[in-house]
Structure formats: structure tokens, C-alpha cells
Amino acid sequence: MTIPFIRSIDFWVGVPLCFLLTFVDSVLRLFSSHKRHEDIPKKILFIKPSEMGGIILSYPLFSRIQKEYPQAEMFFLTFKSNQSLFEVLGVIPTENILTIREDLFLSGVVDTVRAIFKIRRIKVDVVFDLEFFSRVSALIAYLTGAAKRIGFDRYTLEGLYRGDLFTHKLLYNPHIHISQVFLSMSQVVGQDRKTTPELMRNFSDHEIVLPQFSPTKEEAEIMKNRLAELGIDSRTKLFLMNPGEGRIPLREWPLDHFITLARKLLEDQNHYMIMTGASDSAEKSTRLFHALDHKRCIDLIGKTTIRELLTLFHMADVLIANDSGLAHLASLTQIKQFILFGPESPRVFSPLGENIHVFYSNLPCSPCLSAYNHRRSDCTHNRCLKGISPEEVHSIILKKVPQRSLFKNSLIP
């Protein structure tokens, strides 16, 4: 399913259903006595169908909830393509990951209905809707039957209607990093209801951390041998590059800029370039690979599992990519990242970690994509990205990347 199609379904189906269920819920509440809910939940569900990056940035929330309610069993509802990510994050058991196929509309509907019935049988106490203003996720949260439903509400904002289906309504703040926004949701679990936007506290940077991936010695050795078979030896410096974004082309640095930058980096005989990432960005990566037509350029797009990709991140020197889920995945390792932002704000969506360098033009029209416009823009030129020159990026990379070999992390303690 494409992004425009998903948005259309969310609007034309989601809005009337949210209105209908809000009316039904209002009537039901008139005839039901208010009961105070238990402060200590036993089963907790998180809903975040799309965006690998968003799931990774919500990890501090999972971790905090697990520490505050260690007796609670946690579940997660997401698209099937994100399932393997949870094997790496480790905070939620893989058997508690409920998935929805996103390739075809009908299969997605069937999986969603099945998931709702399964969740109702599980009898979750608390639901976190981690989508910003999706109507479908709000509907799912309500239909689970959970006593506490935590999600974002528009309050006094116009538009962005998703009914009144949450018992705990939070105001989405577009001025702070999204990891802090997600983590702040943990503050209201112990409250019976939440119908006003104020919160009690903020969170310091040391409370917002991600798990760090370390491959096994066997995984590192297999990757080392695989790269050796491709002609890459231990004396080289390895650059990973992904010129695609996946689903929102407006976030992509021009392909010609990637070609120019890659050619500059490959001028050094000690440098190798690998195209890497998921198959949804394969088209642009393939074009880059053929445009370079270089013996020290290798195409691994769609040819690695998540663990293999993380092992590659762990061993390589540099990742160059657009603002995307790939960058957030790489933040689970110590690889140096050079990430290109344009129509979205790095202040809100930058990958976490100390090894991140963000390129951002900071034009007055940027960011033009946000939760408040459902990440849609009338921009057709993305000058915020086109204005970042390959020469600037190349210069910064050479300044920040130390001279060291590829297999710096190949020996696992």
C-alpha cells in the first residue's frame, strides 16, 4: 500500500468511524457508573504500525514502562516488515509482537480485525497509541476494550480530527525531540483519566538511551568473510551509502549529489563504497550503483537481514544517508553517521547518539512536513536538500572520520 492510499483510507474511512464510535462511547458512558481503574497494569499494548525509526525512538518509553511495571506483560502491534526489529531491541518478547501485512489492503484489513480480536482475548489494561494523528490507530486502540487508552489529542487545534476515543489525552509537542514526546507518555499511566494537556516533569538526556547492538563473534566472522569475498580487505575504509528514503521522496538528497560525493570518496584507493539498506529504496540505489560503475563499489541493497545489516554497521566506518529509518537503525551501533535533513526537523527526528552529524539548510520554509499536516507538503523542489553541496558533505566527512581500518570491531570480546 502506498502512502497516499493509506492517507485516503485513514481520512475517508477513519473520520466517520471515529465520529461514530465517539458518539457510541458518549452514550455508553451515560449509562455506566465510573469505576476507578487499577494503578498497576497487568498487560500493556503499544501500537505503532509504520516507521522503523519511530519504533526505535520509542524504545526509551518501552524501557521505562518495563522498569516501572516489571510484572506487566507487554505487547506490540505493528506492520509485519518491522517484526524482526524487536529481536534486536529485546524489550518485548517476539511472541508478543502482533503484525499486520501492509502489501495489500485486504490482507491488512483481515490482519487488523484478527489482531483486535486477539487483543480483546488477551484483555490488555493499557494501550499506548504511538501514532501522532492517525485515525485508524485510534480506532484500534478503542476497539481493544482497554480501560486506559493513551494517545495524542488535538485539544484546541483545528483539523486533525480523530474523535474522542482516548481516556488519557496528551498534547503532541512539535518543538522537542520525539523520543522525549514518547517518553512523556509514561507519566500518565497511573492516573485514572487525563483530559488536560499539562504534564508534571521533563526528562534529561541520560534517561533517553538506546540499546547497543554487538554481533556475536560468529556473526562478525561471517560478515568479514563475506566482505573479503567481495574484494574488501582489512586495510580499507568502508563507506555505507543509501540514496533513497523509501516512502517520501521529498526527503531525498538529489541522486546527482550522491554520485558526485561517492566519486570524490572513491578517489582514495583505500576507500570502498557499499550500497546498503532495505529493498524499498533499491531503485535509486541501483541507479547510483550503475552510475558509479566502479570496482570498489558494491551493491548489497535488500541482501542483508537486520542483524547482518547491524553487523555491517558495527564493522564499517561511515554511513551516509537521508533522514530515514536506516539512520535510526544505525544508531544502535557506534558507526559515524552523516545524515541529510530537509523537509523535516532534525531537532525533532534526528537519530540518537554521539556519532551523528546532521546536514540541514535551516531554510525558513523548512520543516514543511510534520504530524500537523500528516507529513504532506506542496513543495516540489526541496531546495532545503538541493542546497547542501556534495563538496560540503565531503569536506565534513574527511574532517570527522579518523584514519582507521574496516575491521576495527571484528573481534568481539
Q: Which fold has domain 3-207?
A: Rossmann fold (3.40.50)
Q: Which residues of the chain form CATH 3.40.50.2000?
A: 3-207, 217-409
Q: Which CATH architecture has domain 217-409?
A: 3-Layer(aba) Sandwich (3.40)
> One digit per residue, pLDDT tens: the chain, 413 residues?
777 788 888 888 899 999 999 999 999 888 776 655 667 899 999 999 988 999 999 999 999 999 999 999 999 999 999 999 999 998 999 999 999 998 888 999 999 999 999 999 999 999 999 999 899 999 999 999 999 999 999 999 888 899 999 999 999 999 999 999 999 999 999 999 999 999 998 898 889 999 999 999 999 999 999 999 988 877 789 999 999 866 788 999 999 999 999 999 999 999 999 998 777 667 888 889 899 989 999 999 888 999 999 999 999 999 999 999 999 999 999 999 999 999 999 999 999 998 999 999 999 999 999 889 888 899 988 999 999 999 999 999 999 987 655 555 444 43
In angstroms, rounded to a whole number, what is the distance separating the alpha carbons of residues 192 and 84?
A: 35
SS (H, E, C) 366-409: CCCCCHHHCCCCCCCCCHHHHCCCHHHHHHHHHHHCCCCCHHHH
Q: At what angle do helices 135-143 and 3-12 cross, to 10 degrees?
A: 60
pLDDT in tens, 169-212: 999 999 999 999 999 999 999 999 999 999 998 898 889 999 99
Only one residue has cell 502489501, namely: 103
User: What is the model's pLDDT at position 212?
Assistant: 93
pLDDT in tens, 253-285: 999 999 999 999 999 999 999 998 777 667 888
In angstroms, rounded to a whole number, what is the distance separating the alpha carbons of residues 266 and 394?
A: 11
pTM over 0.75: yes
DSSP symbol at 322 = E
User: What is the model's pLDDT at position 347?
Assistant: 94
